Amino acid sequence: MDTKAIANVLKNMFRVGKVSSLNPEQNTARVYFEDQSGMVSCEMAILNRGSKVVKDYWMPDVGEDVLCLNLPNDKNKTVGWILGSYFSQKDSPQIADDKVRRIDYGDGSYIEYDRKSHTLNIHCVGNINITGATINLN
């Protein structure tokens, strides 16, 4: 296979698109690909960081830019996964610090941990419920 053919295969395997619809019950979404004449994908599984014992559930937002992996299967259909989203000039990171991990929830709530100062910040615009057999505060 020549380099042009390899480049074409890779171009079709990895695609950038925008989420067009969500299926939270199946943890799938459909993606709109502008570079493919507005084609919308089949339901694509969303890659998560755990799915057996330790689970990390995440759904992108409709309109969010995502990177997808598409593989043809043996029935001439495409099987695909949403690998993740990425920051852009339009949607930039909320913080720029390699020692901080932060999750913003879009309503003003966030959880942030700073490894350098060993500080955990939780900011919630609503109620906070903590459930446990014993809760210790010091």
pLDDT digits (tens, 9 = 90+) for 93-121: 999 999 999 999 999 999 999 999 999 99
The gap from C-alpha 25 to its chain's centroid, in whole angstroms, comes to: 16
Structural domain count of the chain: 2
What 3-state DSSP class applies to 66?
Answer: strand
Query: Which residues are bridge partners to 39 per DSSP?
Result: 33
Q: For position 78, what pLDDT does the model report? A: 65
Model-level pTM?
0.80
| Of 67 and 36, more confident | 67
- Regarding whether 134 and 100 lie in a shared domain, the answer is yes
Q: What are the Cα distances from residue 16, in Å, to 5, 21, 35, 102?
A: 20, 15, 9, 25
Which DSSP symbol is given to 57?
A: -
Closest to 68 measured CA to CA, from 84, 90, 89: 84
- Regarding whether 109 and 74 lie in a shared domain, the answer is no
- Regarding whether 122 and 80 lie in a shared domain, the answer is no
Q: For position 10, what pLDDT does the model report? A: 76
- Read off the CATH number of the domain in which 68 is found: 2.40.50.230
- Domain range for residue 61? 3-85
- Regarding whether 56 and 19 lie in a shared domain, the answer is yes
Instruction: Give the separation between CA 24 and CA 65, rounded to whole angstroms.
Output: 18
